[in-house]
Amino acid sequence: MTLTWTAAFRSAVLSPHESIQIKSSRAFHDQTLRQILHLDGGGEALRILFSNEYGKKPLIIEAARLAISTSGSAIDPTTDTALRFGGATEVAIPAGERLLSDPIALAVPAGTDLALTLYLPEETGLATYSHTPSQNAYVLPGNALSADFAQAEEADGRYYVTGVDVLAPEGTAVAVAFGDSWFEGVGTSTGTNQRFPNQLNRRLGKGWVVNQGIGGNRLLTDEVGLRGLARLERDVLQVPGATHVLFHFGLNDLGLPGMTGEPPASAPDLIAGFTELAERARSARLATIGMTMGPYAGTIYPGIDTPEGRELRREVNAWIRTSTAFDSVADIAAAVQDPDAPDFIRADLDSGDHLHLNDAGAHAMAGAVDLATLRL
């Protein structure tokens, strides 16, 4: 059996210097950072993908360790292993770049929680980060690589890490969930892995789905992260082992402009954007699954819900449902909407802000995907 490096975890990153942020980044200095990474897939060995893409100077990691996480910030000490970079335990990741660690010969099944611990001795500046990961990180002062993290400060973000690859059988199917907060997991319970991709993975008999959602991300405009059209290459086409891609975009193109009094994206522009995404993915031999835009009427965030935006969502969704641009379609809007008021999320699936799904909503969203279309 031939093994090949395959994405088993992904976390799409953005710049801490964006004009609009849902949650801001942070800097580190003489601190130890522990982060929990939930593996969507498993393999015979693994390596970590770091990112300093949006840093202003080199990121100095004096030491890094990897272990199996048991609960919260705790680890299984028998699995605690030093990470190396070209054989060295210390590394400087240049500003604007990504870097893979050396492989670690640790067999891990799908669903494993890894604890990645980094000692960051120098002032980092604001970190390249994922701002709504639904998973806390843990921070202690000084070099605390061997410390108990029970009393650590909790940080609501994910910093400098963007992926884990595993050695898996060649031909393993991997779908990339590429989109906005409905993929990243905003509204689901922190630290419990109830996001849509996690719940879809629990339905699969083989293969897996990795998460490349960014809360607030738009299809057509750079604002909260690179626009979908600009980050498709990095976050989908360069994902090792990717065979399928699921798309959920458009809510932020319709809603976020209203916060500043600007008009929403037009239906023809959104349709053209979706069509381009699908064509580029197909050219890379990926199977494409389009998803209807979920409802968000009555959201608590001022300016997002407008009569024009509601009508545009209906128009674009009607196109998605009948279009041949995608290989298949999942009508998640129909699965989570209030049947008596389809512009609204069904009350029992609503996180409370009328824009995002709770755990039960993410479960219903995952249930709307026909597994035969994934062909995993």
State the helix-helix crossing angle for 307-322 and 267-283, rounded to 10 degrees.
40
> What's residue 6's pLDDT?
98
- Closest by CA to 39, choosing from 104, 88, 128, 94, is 104
Residues 360 and 188: their CA atoms lie apart, in Å, by: 9
Reported as a pLDDT band with limits 50, 70 and 90, residue 21 is: low
Q: Span 73-98, mean pLDDT?
A: 97
DSSP string, 247-282: EE--HHHHHGGGGGTPPPPPHHHHHHHHHHHHHHHH
Q: Please give the mean pLDDT across all residues of the chain.
A: 96
Residues 278 and 284: their CA atoms lie apart, in Å, by: 10
Domain residue ranges of the chain, discontinuous segments joined by +: 8-15+27-164, 173-374
Q: Which residue has the tokens 């979908």?
A: 228
> What's residue 18's pLDDT?
78
Q: Which residues contact 110 (CB under 8 A, 6 or more apart)?
A: 8, 39, 40, 41, 42, 201, 208
More confident residue, 375 or 169: 169
Rg (CA), the chain: 20
DSSP code at position 8: E
Please tell me the least confidently modeled range out of 117-121, 190-194, 196-200, 260-264. 260-264
Residues 290 and 331: their CA atoms lie apart, in Å, by: 8
Reported as a pLDDT band with limits 50, 70 and 90, residue 261 is: confident
Tokens matching residue 342? 């389809």
> What's residue 37's pLDDT?
98
Strand pairing partners for 330? 291
> What's residue 19's pLDDT?
64
**Alpha-carbon distance values, 171 to 9, 43, 250 (Å):** 17, 13, 32
Per-residue pLDDT of 128-187, as tens digits, reads 999 999 999 999 999 999 999 999 999 999 999 999 999 999 999 999 999 999 999 999
Answer whether residue 376 shows pLDDT above 70. Answer: no
34 half-sphere exposure, CB direction, 13 A CA radius: 31
Collapsing DSSP to helix, strand or coil, 89 comes out as: coil
Top CATH class of 173-374 equals alpha beta
Answer whether residue 122 shows pLDDT above 70. Answer: yes
Say what percent of the chain tops pLDDT 90.
Answer: 95
